[in-house]
Amino acid sequence: MLQPKKSKYRKEFRGKMRGVAQRGTTIAFGSFGLQATTRGWVSARQIEAARKKITFMTKRDGKYWIRIFPHKPITSKPVGVKMGSGKGAIDQHVAVVRPGTILFELSGVTETIARSAFIKAGHKLSIQTTFVKK
């Protein structure tokens, strides 16, 4: 599962997700891309599930790129713990995604295969996505 090797601070604020993506909005490596149309957090588990679906649908033909990385640690407290007594332990890592961000790229396969793979992969994510061509 994707997570940072080390970070300057162990726990982060939740932050805001205002505006649209400023960078990472064009296809840079492949021929086809999966682009976010809504904003949200995409967890490392969701990224891995989408990646597995892409490799399964393409039958390991072509090459794919993951353009997002889960840098942000999300904390949670155990069930039944009372309020107070500090911030919880790190539960998962997420990638902050704004509208327009390219999430995955693919090349070396036909457009129909790429489209079906990205539609299936998009179902694994907690945000809405669209298929884009170079």
Confidence class for position 1, pLDDT limits 50, 70, 90: confident
Residue 3 has pLDDT above 90, yes or no: yes
Confidence class for position 93, pLDDT limits 50, 70, 90: very high
Residue 121 has pLDDT above 90, yes or no: yes
Share of the chain above pLDDT 70, in %: 100
Tell me how far apart the 2 most distant CA atoms of the chain are, in Å.
55
Q: Where are the chain's structural domains?
A: 32-76+88-133
Confidence class for position 42, pLDDT limits 50, 70, 90: very high
Mean pLDDT of 33-49: 98
The structure tokens 């957090």 sit at 41
Residue 99 has pLDDT above 90, yes or no: yes
| Model pLDDT, residue 6 | 95
Mean pLDDT of the chain: 97
- The hierarchical CATH code for the domain 32-76+88-133 is 3.90.1170.10
Alpha-carbon span 132 to 114, nearest angstrom: 10
Instruction: Tell me the torsion sign for CA atoms 120, 125, 126, 130.
Output: negative
Buried b (16+ CB within 10 A) or exposed e, 6-43: eeeeeeeeeeeeeeebeebbebeebbbbbbbeebbbbb
| Model pLDDT, residue 49 | 98
